[in-house]
Structure 1
Amino acid sequence: MTRWFLIAVLAGEMAAADVVTPTRTLRPGTLITVQDLTIRDGVYVGAFDRITDVAGQEARVALYAGRPIPFDAIGPPAIVNRNQIVPMRFQAAGLSITTDGRAMERGGIGDRIRVMNLQSRATLFGLVQQDGSIKVTQ
C-alpha cells in the first residue's frame, strides 16, 4: 500500500503545470517586461509559474524563447556595474569606515560582489545596497 501511495505522490508532482517562458530570446543583462513573457503548459521543476515573479527582473543568462525560466536564471536589475567607482561602508562595534572602491562585478540590490579598495588595493566582498553603495562584509 505504501508503494502505491508513493507512486501517486510522485505522479502528482510531475503533473502538467503552468510555466513562464520568454516570447523571444533574451540576452544576459536584459530587463524583462511583461511583453517578453507568456504562460505555457509544461513539466519543469524549479521554474517560475507566475509572470509577476519574473517581470521587472534582469536576465542573468540567455533565456530562449519557449523554454521555462529557471529560478537562478534571473535576478534583480543591476545597479552597480563592473569597474564603477562606488562608496564602500564598513560598520562593526561602533566603528564606521567609508571609502571609495571599484566594483569588480555587476550586481543588483542584495547581491554579494567583489570590490577593490582604491587606497589599499585590497579586494573585499560586500552587499549591494539600495543606494548603490557597498556594505562590506569581509
Structure 2
Amino acid sequence: MKIRSFFLANSLILCSICHCVNALEPAKYQDIPKLRSDVKQFVKQHYLELDNDLKEDVDIFIEVGNLDSRLKLQTCDDFLALTLNTPPHRSGRVTVKAVCTDKKRWTIYIPVNIEIYREALVATRDLTRGSVISKQDLRPMHLNTSKFGIGLVLADQDKSIIGLVLKRPLRAGSPVNTKHLEKPDIIAKGDPVTMQAGSNAFKVAVGGVALDSGHIGERIRVRNKQSKRVVSALVVAPGKVIASY
C-alpha cells in the first residue's frame, strides 16, 4: 500500500513538472487568431493614415479572410512584417502579405474585405447627358465608397462640381463621379473667336472661326479668317483662344 502511494505521489509530481515546463515553453506554431487580429488592425491603420479625413465621417468595416485551421506556421520570434499587396488607394477586396523575418522565414497572403462608408453625393432626380449640375440636383447619402472606386464625389465637395456638365445620363439615387463630369463649353462650333499668336515680346491677334466646341483649357480647331489655315488653339476665355503654330 505504501509502495503504491509512493509511486502515485511521484507520478503526480512528475506530471506537474512536465505541465509547468510545457507551460513555460514558447508556442510551437503561430497563433492564427492573433495573426488575423494583427492584420485587421494593420489594414485599419493603413486607411486612416491614407486619408486624414477618414477619421471624421467614416465607418470602416474590415473582414479578414478565414485561414485553414490545419495551417501550421512556425512561431515567428522576430519581426512579423505586414504589407498591403494591393495599390494603396484601393479598397474592397485587398490582400495583405505577412512575412516572418527570422530564421524560420515564411510568407503568407491573407485576403481582406474592406467596406468604407462615407457621406457621398447622389442625384436627386434623373439627369440627362449635357445637364448642368446645380445644388438642387445633389443630396448626401451614406455609401460604401469601396464599391465605386476613384472619382466618387464626397458630400463636402459639392461646390467643386456645381456648374459642371454631365457626359452621360445619371439616374436618381446614383452616386456622382468626377469621370462623368466635364467643364461647360464656352465656345461653340461656328463661333467667331479672336485668335492670339506670337511670343511674349510680340503678339498678334487675328479673327477666326471655331471648328469645334470647347471649354477653358481644351484645345480646339480654329480656321484663320485671313489665311484660311486651320490651327490648333487653346481656349482661354469666351471668344478667345491662343494658337499653336
TM-score scaled by structure 2? 0.48
Aligned position for 1:115 = 222
**In the alignment, structure 1 residue 23 sits paired with structure 2 residue 130:** no
Amino acid at match of 2:119: D
Equivalent residue pairs, number: 137
Whole-angstrom CA distance in 2 between matches of 1:14 and 1:92:
53
Q: Which moved more, 1:10-19 or 1:122-131?
A: 10-19
Matched, 1:97 2:175: no
**Measured at CA, do residues 112 and 61 of structure 1 come closer, stay the same or move farther in structure 2, by a change above 3 Å?**
farther
Report deviation, 1:14: 5.0
Bigger relative CO (Cα 8 Å, ≥ 6 apart): 1
Q: Equivalent residue of 2:226, what SS?
A: coil
Higher Cα Rg, which structure: 2
Counterpart amino acid of 1:6? L
User: Relative to 1, partners in 2 of residues 1:62 and 1:2: Cα closer, same or farther, differing over 3 Å?
Assistant: farther
In structure 1, the partner of 2:144 is 42
The CA deviation at 1:33 is 0.6
- 8 Å Cα contact 2:115-2:144 kept in structure 1: no
Residue in 2 that maps onto 1:64: 171
Report if aligned partners of 1:101, 1:115 keep a CA contact under 8 Å in 2: yes
Please give the TM-score of this superposition, normalised by the length of structure 1: 0.78
3-state DSSP class of the match of 2:237? coil
Which protein is richer in helix relative to its size? Answer: 2
Which SS does the other structure have where 1:72 is aligned? helix
Letter in 2 for 1:37: L
- Asked if the contact 1:113–1:125 (Cα under 8 Å) also holds between the matched residues in 2, the reply is yes
Rounded to whole Å, the distance in 2 between the matches of 1:11 and 1:78 is 35
Residue aligned with 2:179, SS: helix
Q: Tell me the CA shift for residue 89 of structure 1.
A: 0.8
Distance in 2 of aligned mates of 1:107 and 1:78: 5
Equivalent-residue separation in structure 1 for 2:244 and 2:231 (angstroms): 8
Q: Alpha-carbon deviations, 1:11-62, whole Å to 9, x = none? A: 5875223332222232333221100112222322222112222112222333
Determine which structure has the larger strand proportion and give its number.
1
In the superposition, relative to structure 1, how do residues 68 and 134 fare at CA in structure 2: closer, same or farther (>3 Å)?
same
Once the 2 structures are TM-superposed, how far is the Cα of residue 86 of structure 1 from its aligned partner? 1.1
SS in 2 for 1:107: coil
Residue among 84, 98, 113 paired with 1:6: 84
Question: Structure 1: which 4+ aligned runs deviate by more than 4 Å?
Answer: 9-14
8 A contact 2:210–2:223 mirrored in 1? yes
Letter matched to residue 136 of structure 1: A
**Maintained 8 Å contact 1:89/1:97:** yes
Indicate if the aligned counterparts of 1:87 and 1:101 stay in contact, CA closer than 8 A: yes
Separation (CA, whole Å) in 2 of partners of 1:113 and 1:2: 52
